[in-house]
Amino acid sequence: MSPNNSSSPRAPRPLRDVVFVDGVRTPFGKAGEKGIYAGTRADDLVVKCIRELVRRNPSLPTDRIDEVAIAATTQTGDQGMTIGRTAALLAGLPKSVPGFAIDRMCAGGLTAVTTTASGIAFGAYDVVIAGGVEHMGNHPMGKDADPNPRFMSERLVDPAALNMGNTAENLHDRFPKITKQRTDAYAVESQNKLAKAYENGQIQPDLVPVATMKPETGWVLNSTDEPPRPGTTMEDLATLRTPFRAHGRVTAGNAAGLNDGATAAILASAEAAEELGLSVKMRLVSYAFAGVEPEVMGIGPVPATEKALKNAGLTIDDISLFEINEAFAVQVLSFLDYFGMADDDPRVNRYGGAIAVGHPLASSGVRLMNQLARQFEEDHSAQYGMTTMCVGLGMGGTVIWENPHFDASASAPSTTTSTTAKETAA
């Protein structure tokens, strides 16, 4: 062989640090004709988020945005047409900015972040916008879906796997210690914590007001979430029916509802953030996805978290803050039980969660990140935080973040255990 044709091993390409610069979301609405976004297009909700990110970060030239990744579970109609690209164009970004669509059901927005973050780490991008949208009023989950008949005929999955409420009931069966009383108590606390966060002004800073038009009311500016039910009691939840199983344990009160909403975030390399004068709210440490039996999809965050912790060289005790998506209370409690954490652990969902605020599927992952970033700003004693969620058809996704404000000498904010949580623990 000629020396000119020989090649020496290439040195490993160094990975770049990825930072979370900023994130916003629309107020979440209830799906359906009476919801605040009835008659509003899904892509217009995403456009609101992108425009607000540009407005809030004036030092970022829009032609420096290298990619727009937007997730949607149902990619038809106003959530179709490669929504990442169409939303970028509609938001007025330069035509040189490309975009794409992505789908991992509930973890769509989370996957939009991890996918583009990987590109940043590899050097393909410097700055990206990643987010998600779900208009479940326009696109009910599973509408027009055509599951392959082999799923049933060859028994590849349990029939319950195609209905998320049934998978939650299956989790109750698998973990009988997670009673309906525990899930209802957890749901009450989610409502209470969200109401407290609203009182403290911890939710509003990252909300993008959305004006909507309805024939009966005219123009309305929506600046707060529609789903919350502050003041919910255990007695209220005890009266709700169990739609997925007779005498079951999953109700509309201890599960997230059907919702509309959008989210978006700016991610950048650490070098680009410094060059452009962008804020750094979090640093990406590791992420992982894992599969589980589809009929108990809610347990997905457990193996995903184990993988993410292993990748990061951390243990669960190193995580000071958890943002766990509350698709169902039983799903969160199964995670807490596995890792030996209390139902009212003060590190978990300090601002409440999806049971109270809503869960517009593909958009929720970025909501978790927004809330974690806000908590990092408030709590400098927290070095690492986690965003994690279960995913339809049997998956979980976890992202571990580092707090750029971490101060080893700082004290954690004081927390107060609620009466409901104390009574339940007793």
In order of 126, 317, 381, the CA distances from 347 in angstroms are: 32, 11, 12
Residue 54's identity, in one-letter code, is V
- Comparing CA positions, the residue from 340, 330, 350, 326 lying closest to residue 418 is 350
Active site residue 247: no
- Comparing CA positions, the residue from 185, 199, 281, 162 lying closest to residue 234 is 185
Contacts of 27 (CB under 8 A, 6+ apart): 36, 207, 208, 209, 210, 222, 223, 224, 225, 226, 261
- Comparing CA positions, the residue from 321, 368, 362, 285 lying closest to residue 117 is 285
Q: Does residue 149 sit in helix, strand or coil?
A: coil
Phi, psi of 350 (to 5 degrees): -60, -25
Active site residue: 49, 106, 135, 139, which one?
A: 106
Contacts of 76 (CB under 8 A, 6+ apart): 139, 144
Which structure tokens are listed for 191?
A: 């409502």
Which structure tokens are listed for 110?
A: 């989370």
- Comparing CA positions, the residue from 257, 55, 241 lying closest to residue 141 is 257
Bridge partners (DSSP) of residue 260 are 29, 135
Q: Among all chains, which residue has been given the structure tokens 């993410």?
A: 308
Active site residue: 135, 139, 172, 359, which one?
A: 359
Active site residue 49: no
How are the residues of the chain apportioned to helix, strand and coil, as percentages rounded to the nearest 5?
Answer: 40, 20, 40
- Give the integer Cα–Cα distance in Å for 139 and 258: 10
- Comparing CA positions, the residue from 358, 359, 357, 319 lying closest to residue 336 is 319
Bridge partners (DSSP) of residue 115 are none
Task: Give me the active site residues, please.
Answer: 106, 359, 390
